[in-house]
Every structure is written in structure tokens, then in C-alpha cells.
Structure 1
């Protein structure tokens, strides 16, 4: 399967059954135990990034591109704290939900805007670029191109999360592949941390902070890279 086909599958999934599933997970309604575990893990990753940005003391007025913003789980709280946030997602439905939630929280004059775009077509320059829980949809051979493009948008900082490729997690993933279902409509790719760091360094970044979120069903390695 080529990259264009995979991108179409991801887009269609998050505009259909995937949208309903992940909107529930990223909300506060009733979900099953697995979805609740993923919700908690994702929220831990969001909170870590927010803590990092708050700790620097310059969040107000900062320009932030939230690439793959989903329903606005990171974009909206950052805008609440004074940042100017540009959220994007490949799914029109996700962007619509992010806009709806932002209107509820921020009102018509909030400092968050949203657009339906894939990562490849993003442009502009921002102080900080974030891309959380998105690279899991990109195979290893696309990572240098995608991370380099995100790096070209970031003036000072790039924050990424990805599913780490370790022996234990690879075994768990193989076990999970025996049990396909609606949630498995897109492929999930793991990535070696050393490879991600090498790409960042090639683009002029160095690692400032790192973190790891690990629950029963959610594993995410988080890196903050700065120029």
C-alpha cells in the first residue's frame, strides 16, 4: 500500500467510525475500560506538554501550531492560557468538533483557529509546533520527510509524541493484531527513539526534555526538541 492510499484510509476512518470512537475517548462521557485507559493515557501526555510550556513562563502570546489537533484537547487549553493556536487535522469532522468545543470554552473571540489539512500541506512559521499521537499513522520510511517538514515550521521548538519501538511493545502489538476490530481500521506504526532523535538533530534540533506515558493500552514517548 502506498502513502497516498494509507492517508486516504486514515482520513476516511477519522471522518466516519473513527470520529465517533475518538470523540468519545477524548470527551468525558461513558466509555469502556480500554477506551477509558486510552483517555487517561492521552490526557497524561497532554498535561505533560502543558506543564512544559507553562514552566517556561512565556506562553501568553506564543504562536503554536498544533498539527493533528484532533478535537482540540491540547489546542483549547493552550488558547485559554493566552497562546495563539493554529490547529489542524486531516479529518474535517475532527476539526469541526474542535471548533465547536473551542466556541463553547473560548467564545467567538478565542485565540484558536482550526483548519482541515494533512501534515504535508501545512505552511507558515510558528514559535512552537506540537504533533501528538499522530506519527503512529506514518510508516518508518515516511518519518524523515514528515519530521523534517514539521521542523521547518518551528522557529524555536518542536514537541513530538510517538509509539516507541521496543521488544516488549512489539510483542504486545503482534498479539493485538490477532484481534482486529473497528478500532483497528488504520495501521499503527512504532518508531525507534534513536531514529527520531537523529532526524531532529539533522534538522538542527537538540532534545531539551523527554517523557513517557505508559498505561495498560496506551504507550507514548514524548520529546521536546529546541533549536
Structure 2
């Protein structure tokens, strides 16, 4: 089993990495991603492209809930909720949503956008600190901040919170996207994330299967500057 091979302390991201991500999304990163996750026109071409891609991934998840007609009363943990682009519409569909993010500014923005002060419930927390039990745990576009070893441990931790389903998205690792990342890393920019990690889909599937999950549905989003594999894993 994949989770049996994980050190019991490996679900904790190193303080240095965690602090880097937290500081980024509470400073230059917050302004950049608040605009990307928003609806205003104050974005450049790249940011608009990423907004389009991220929203497509969000829409896939919302579409799954709509097709299954099981949102009402469903308990959901949106791990790494950002400004609430998924949490808020899920709550409006009738789900009971707990939304967390490592960034205090992101959580504050999510609260300000929500129409119901009690649903979603927003809280500042990193992934490793999450606890509880939910029908579905969702983690979109967050694993890009975790290297392979940490991401596998984090998937195992998130799976332990999910009673029936785990939904993940990640930037897939293949020769083409590795090259794109290298090119992107060469372009300077004060608001770029400090680190970005790609993950092999086969590795993510291996971890999920080792944890007793099987893939039910999947989607892929690719725009000029955004690429993301979305997997829905359900317990066997």
C-alpha cells in the first residue's frame, strides 16, 4: 500500500517551503491571483488565459455535482480554496462546504465574496493541518506547490479525510510541459510563484490506487499558459 510506505511525519511540508508559499500568496501572489480568480478586466493576456483555464477546471467539478444531483447536504472540504471560486458555487448548490487556504488574504477575499456568512465556512489552514471527515475532499491546482515526495504524502492525508471521494487537479509531467515550464521559468516576473512542480499522472494514480481508490472520471484542461489534469477518485 502506498500510504504504508510514507513516513508518519512526511505529511508535513518543510517549514521553509510552507513559509514561501504562505508569504507569496499574502503578498505579490495575492494581488495576481485575486485578479485571475476574479471577473474584472484588470488582467493581462497571460492572466486572462490562466483565468479561463482555471474556470474550466472548476466548471468540470461543478458539472459532476450537477449531473449526479447530489450536492444538497453533501459535506465538502475544499482544500486550498483560494478566493472561493469553487467553494461558493458549491455552497449555493446546497452543499455544506468547509473551505481552507494557507493564505489569510485569500481566505479574507473568499469571505467577502460569499453571500452566505455561514456557508462556506472559511478558515486559514495549510493542507497538512486539515482534519475531520467529509463526503468529498477537493484540492484544485494546489499540488503544483509540492514536490513529488510531499505531494504523495499530501494526497494520502487528503484521502484520509474523504469518506467516499477525492477530487484532485495537478499539472501533468510530460516532455512537452516540462519544456514549457523551463521556458516559463526563464521569463522574469515579480509576481511569479517561487516554485512550481509537475507530476506524472501515473504516479498520482499509483498513490490513489494504493490508498484504495479507483478513478471514476477525469478531464484535462489546456490553454496557452494553463494545463491541468483533473481526477475524480472514489473508494473501492
TM-score, structure 2 normalization: 0.92
Corresponding residue to 1:7 among 18, 28, 47: 18
Distance 1:64 1:198 in 2: 24
Other-structure match for 2:29: 18
Instruction: Please give the per-residue CA displacement for 1:1-44, whole angstroms capped at 9, x wherever unaligned.
Output: x8321110000010011111110111111211110000000000
Corresponding residue to 2:200 among 189, 192, 197: 192
Aligned length: 222
Q: SS state of the match for residue 191, structure 2?
A: helix
- The runs of 5 or more residues in structure 1 that have no matched partner are none
Indicate the RMSD between aligned Cα atoms, in angstroms.
Answer: 1.0
Q: SS state of the match for residue 98, structure 2?
A: strand
Q: Which has the higher contact order (CA 8 A, sep 6+)?
A: 2
Matched ranges for 1:45-84 at <5 A: 45-84=57-96
Other-structure match for 1:222: 230
- The runs of 5 or more residues in structure 2 that have no matched partner are 1-12
The answer to whether the Cα contact below 8 Å between 1:72 and 1:87 also exists between their aligned partners in 2 is yes
Instruction: Please give the per-residue CA displacement for 1:125-169, whole angstroms capped at 9, x wherever unaligned.
Output: 000000000000000111221000000000000000000001100
The answer to whether the Cα contact below 8 Å between 2:29 and 2:192 also exists between their aligned partners in 1 is no
Other-structure match for 2:177: 169
The answer to whether the Cα contact below 8 Å between 1:129 and 1:154 also exists between their aligned partners in 2 is yes
Other-structure match for 1:114: 122
Distance 1:9 1:129 in 2: 25
Distance 2:108 2:184 in 1: 31
The answer to whether the Cα contact below 8 Å between 1:127 and 1:154 also exists between their aligned partners in 2 is yes
Other-structure match for 2:131: 123
Question: What displacement does 1:175 show?
Answer: 1.1
Other-structure match for 1:85: 97
